[in-house]
A and B are shown apart, each in its own frame.
Chain A
């Protein structure tokens, strides 16, 4: 019977009663203690029941110590003092004695009294009014006034930032999730656009600033940055049409951060994640051109095995991982935009020349609307050229995929390759001899996979993005199209220029971009020659199936040989300088692991 009781209610064991009696100098018999314990339980239940009444009338959801004390007072029991603090009381066990107690720390009043940081008084209670719904509809009028709000509300912005960071960096992971989830999913953001602007600024702040919290390695500021970036992309996906002006501002600031070697690595990480979140186009535009220059810097960090460097190095690995993820998606997206039309049976024009043409129509990737098409063109003027100021944005041209892949491969080596697979059926389409690599061996039987690519393509993109959610991650992953939210617009714009000119410029402009410009000067250590920029010698396609199999897809190993046209020496040296990468940066949350851990067999 007693255990039944235990299941239904909290119970005070008789041992506790005995102990308390002992401490008061009374010896209790077992029966007496049992009786007392039971009565105590009953009285406790009674008191908690009546205390809930005080809670209800105070129109709260949270039962406070005060509520309980009021209930006690009205039933003529002395109130219990000392439990009014906001923080949870630590309840500690003593192993030997099976004794549990509430830690009652001694407080040095002198210290408190002489403390220099005098706590500020509570903020004044006030009433603020806002028209929430006009004629029963969300208040749309105010949404037009965003840009003004950005400039005038800097103080509020700070407040908001404080709110967000407090909840996010607080000890309570649940609170953090709630805070971010709310920011992300709350539909009110749309109606209250001023808030929403804070979100962007706040998110930018979170992404980029070397938060004080990141000094302490225990603080999970990485996750914060990830969240913030996702939030950013979410905002842009949902409200892209409203905030187009912000888009380039953000790109610009991210770019600045990235090219500033003085910034700590966590800021760089933030920039990369932010770019990643803004879509693969952003990555292609900003990150990719910076990569060669940036690489040297990163490499230097990663190569330093000194103990004092350990923390920085771990940070470096984080950045490395982020870049890898960003770049891989860039490749995938490019590949997808390339392969889809091809599979549709349009006149496939293999080779680099065709890539641009095909990207025009990539149905699986286009967002339903193209919110940023105008903005994308607008970006042009004020973004500084990726390689340096002397290269105007307008002159920038997308790098053909194979070339891009080659270059990236030169950086990342196999760790990049594992993200790719090539359908055997597509090998035929492959342009160069590179396709003779043993990729095909590991692929599932050809025909099926090949046929699937056509049909499964949209599914493939979906699976790419949904996967993190399966772990109960708190954020709502940006809907698949959002990944490309920024992209297709530019895509279209870009494609309107003649493909031939792009083709032509391809070989000439890129090396120039990389060699000239501040990043070069900043990282004089860069020791690698520009990768091959000759005629594309490698082509590949993604097997939709393979990519869709998210959980396993990452793990399989391709013994991928660098394509012959690449100078095999240089890239390999870089890539194999990083043997430990697969193991570092073990993420704290499961859902991030799916993104960042690489499972590189070593």
Chain B
């Protein structure tokens, strides 16, 4: 699904192809990959390789089961129906021939055998991942290519997975070539034992786990929740409604409180019919619940289940659970609780092993005109530079290449225009005047209150220089205000423009129509609430994402809509521009995040893997990565270059609604409905802090310009400031914790909280630090 093409080449090649893209996006993606030679089979392989089973399923899920794609037209065709696929292939070939694209035909032919195989692989992979345990790879049909990918997938995981061979029943139930059809997925729940005995089984296991040594109990208790869910679903599927209800009543109280939301959904599901089309259910079914258990604990569990001949539970563990076994000390309850809570358990340990280039790109050398002010600026800059080797907090100003930074050209970035350079100079001048924040110098807070919004304000964004503010509203409008005395003006009409003396020095001023000057402009175009707005860094464009399934690009010169990006067929919850412009990312109800370039009306990348809606998206400061937060309670980091998921961060107990990267690119903060902010070290893929204090959803997070302070804004009408410098310092990341990922989080929220600032009755939905480190907050007054 991912295709990355070098820009220049892509333009040449892709022109005649857009039509086909609609016919079958899947194939074209392969073709594009093949044709331009940029993406060799190796690349394709790595693509698959890095997809962990969860991903595969999610991917699949997005294609077939989630409503996101069912009405998508051709792309929604199940890619795993070989016959149909071949027909399509033939049709495409015919079409190409008719259009005399012989080269393409040849290539496609050459690839045909392979591509069929390749095409199968995601399907079989997901079917298999969804239903069979990893060791079933061997039973997975004779497709060499998919086997290859299987094996390459299996290799890194193999040492960790020591699950014994699955019982033959499971294999027959799922089969290697199954379609990820709802019915098939569900049929795995066909009767496997006496339903009357389920409570007995569960109770037996419960008794056993309660009786084991303390150090193992916490780890083994993790099994309860997935086991409970799957047993319940199995009962429901087999029409044992009263038994299922009894089972639920009896054991739902034992589950961890952070699963309450899911349990509520489950408890509503009492009929087989309900299971079809229920997204949460499908998530449980298609993904394996991932647990980290130490080897000792696992052996204990295994021995118990085998001694008791408790096949029922053992089957479920085999089929629906993925147990990631590690050597070493079992984890404590708090360690487990910190990491669990996601819809599908924790992330696999090797999912977060890959290298992430979190460093910042080198800033282009811009000659700053020297004057008095700039002398100061130089001095100011000098200080942090000395500090830099220690703290690495002022990476953005480094003249040397950051060792952790990606290559400058890893992602093609737009060239700087003169106006951008001017802006950079302005930025540097401003930055020289900024206040160094810290625990003793807190920022001033300036609140932008939206009045008369009638509960309709849904999104806010500021430009980087804090000169414009945009609001997205539930009435489908986007409004832009100027917060400086400079009014918003449109460019003159074409007729008037032709009369302008284009040689004059102030041509940029002359093209503006003074009659249109006003403090605010309203942009009409969406047909549903606008859930996300984002300014381009150069302030020429505004992006808005809406419930109507589109992302729109607006010109701030003409205040008209330039492009409507259609791709998400379901509400788009968030969209954000890259810090370098040109690219933007969007994510929504269809669980797929898409990377776009402003001059392409099709996405460049699709990041699939989340198990529930993508609620927020954020670009890494170096533009090479994208972070997405989801209602499946995970944060994922995606590589823009190849579309891989490079980090899966679990630990939140509710849908994630805000993300923020630290200015040095090293850390990520995420805020969720559970009112907690979690801090992550991107390089190690570890949670390094938990900030408790808010009592409601956190909708806004922002680091200060130097990264010393994190501001969080919440529905509970407060802004809180946190001492991130201390938070990052307090965590010692030795090699051991880095490799095991078992971190002891210090309980120091209270120490880290620098202040709580309340509004009168205004939920805080956006925060922004100006270039001088003044904190701007925005929200709508709710009388």
A interface list, Cβ under 8 A from B: 1, 4-5, 8-9, 38-39, 42, 45-46, 49, 53-54, 56-62, 64, 66, 70, 74-75, 122-137, 163, 167, 182, 186-188, 192, 195
Stretch at the interface among B122-130, B147-155, B389-397, B755-763: B755-763
Partner of B760, one of A1, A136, A188: A188
Q: Please give me the residue from chain B that is nearest to A167 by CB atom.
A: B783
CB distance A125 to B453 under 8 Å?
yes
CB distance A136 to B721 under 8 Å?
yes
A476 to chain B, nearest CB (A): 17
CA distance A478 to B221 in the complex (A): 52
B570: Cβ under 8 A from any A Cβ: yes
CB distance B483 to A127 under 8 Å?
yes
CA distance A39 to B765 in the complex (A): 38
Determine the chain A residues whose CB is within 8 A of the CB of B754 once the complex forms.
Answer: 136
Question: B residues 441-486 with Cβ under 8 Å of A?
Answer: 441-459, 469, 471, 473-474, 479, 481, 483
Q: Please give me the residue from chain A that is nearest to B779 by CB atom.
A: A59
Question: B residues 430-446 with Cβ under 8 Å of A?
Answer: 441-446
A131 in contact with B445 given A61-B715, A186-B760 (CB within 8 Å) = yes
14 contacts between A and B (CB under 8 A): A5-B270, A49-B268, A56-B673, A56-B697, A57-B529, A58-B455, A127-B450, A128-B451, A129-B447, A130-B449, A132-B759, A135-B442, A137-B442, A188-B758
A59 in contact with B458 given A125-B473, A126-B452, A134-B444 (CB within 8 Å) = yes
CB distance B452 to A124 under 8 Å?
yes
CA distance A42 to B274 in the complex (A): 8
CB distance A192 to B444 under 8 Å?
no
Q: A66-B474, A136-B443 are in contact. List 15 more A-B contacts (CB 8 A).
A: A1-B242, A53-B613, A60-B455, A125-B452, A125-B453, A125-B471, A127-B449, A127-B450, A127-B451, A127-B778, A129-B483, A131-B445, A136-B445, A187-B758, A192-B760
Give 1 or 0 for each of B475-508: 1 = CB within 8 Å of chain A CB: 0000101010000000000000000000000000
CB distance A53 to B631 under 8 Å?
yes
A286 to chain B, nearest CB (A): 34
B571: Cβ under 8 A from any A Cβ: yes
Partner of A133, one of B445, B455, B573: B445
CB distance B447 to A74 under 8 Å?
no
Give the 10 A-B CB pairs with smallest separation, nearest first: A136-B442, A123-B452, A133-B445, A45-B268, A132-B447, A134-B444, A58-B458, A132-B445, A125-B452, A59-B765
Give 1 or 0 for each of B61-97: 1 = CB within 8 Å of chain A CB: 0000001000000000000000000000000000000
Determine the chain A residues whose CB is within 8 A of the CB of B520 once the complex forms.
Answer: 126-127
Determine the chain B residues whose CB is within 8 A of the CB of A56 once the complex forms.
Answer: 655, 657, 673, 697
Q: Please give me the residue from chain A that is nearest to B696 by CB atom.
A: A61
Number of contacts between A and B (CB, 8 Å)?
A: 142
CA distance A496 to B218 in the complex (A): 74
CA distance A135 to B721 in the complex (A): 12
B114: Cβ under 8 A from any A Cβ: no
Q: Please give me the residue from chain A that is nearest to B450 by CB atom.
A: A127
Determine the chain A residues whose CB is within 8 A of the CB of B721 once the complex forms.
Answer: 136
A131 in contact with B655 given A59-B763, A124-B452 (CB within 8 Å) = no
CB distance A128 to B449 under 8 Å?
yes
B249: Cβ under 8 A from any A Cβ: yes
Give 1 or 0 for each of B256-274: 1 = CB within 8 Å of chain A CB: 0000000001011111011
Determine the chain B residues whose CB is within 8 A of the CB of A128 once the complex forms.
Answer: 448-449, 451
Determine the chain A residues whose CB is within 8 A of the CB of B346 once the complex forms.
Answer: none
Determine the chain B residues whose CB is within 8 A of the CB of A135 once the complex forms.
Answer: 441-444
CA distance A59 to B778 in the complex (A): 12
CA distance A289 to B45 in the complex (A): 97
A86 to chain B, nearest CB (A): 10
B722: Cβ under 8 A from any A Cβ: no
Count B-side interface residues using an 8 Å CB cutoff.
71
CB distance B448 to A129 under 8 Å?
yes
Determine the chain A residues whose CB is within 8 A of the CB of B529 once the complex forms.
Answer: 54, 57-58
Determine the chain A residues whose CB is within 8 A of the CB of B708 once the complex forms.
Answer: none
CB distance A9 to B673 under 8 Å?
no
Determine the chain B residues whose CB is within 8 A of the CB of A46 once the complex forms.
Answer: 268, 278
A136 to chain B, nearest CB (A): 3
CB distance B479 to A125 under 8 Å?
yes
CA distance A456 to B759 in the complex (A): 41
Partner of A57, one of B265, B273, B453, B573: B573
A136 in contact with B267 given A1-B242, A74-B67, A125-B452 (CB within 8 Å) = no
Determine the chain B residues whose CB is within 8 A of the CB of A8 once the complex forms.
Answer: 267
A227 to chain B, nearest CB (A): 18
Determine the chain B residues whose CB is within 8 A of the CB of A163 once the complex forms.
Answer: 783
Q: Please give me the residue from chain A that is nearest to B758 by CB atom.
A: A188
CA distance A129 to B467 in the complex (A): 13
Partner of B446, one of A60, A62, A131: A131
A55 to chain B, nearest CB (A): 10
CA distance A56 to B630 in the complex (A): 13
Partner of B449, one of A49, A129, A134, A182: A129
CA distance A433 to B253 in the complex (A): 74
B429 to chain A, nearest CB (A): 23
CA distance A131 to B269 in the complex (A): 50
Determine the chain A residues whose CB is within 8 A of the CB of B531 once the complex forms.
Answer: 57-58
A138 to chain B, nearest CB (A): 9
CA distance A505 to B200 in the complex (A): 94
CB distance A4 to B444 under 8 Å?
no
A136 in contact with B271 given A74-B570, A124-B452, A186-B760 (CB within 8 Å) = no
A120 to chain B, nearest CB (A): 12
CA distance A593 to B7 in the complex (A): 79
CB distance B245 to A1 under 8 Å?
yes
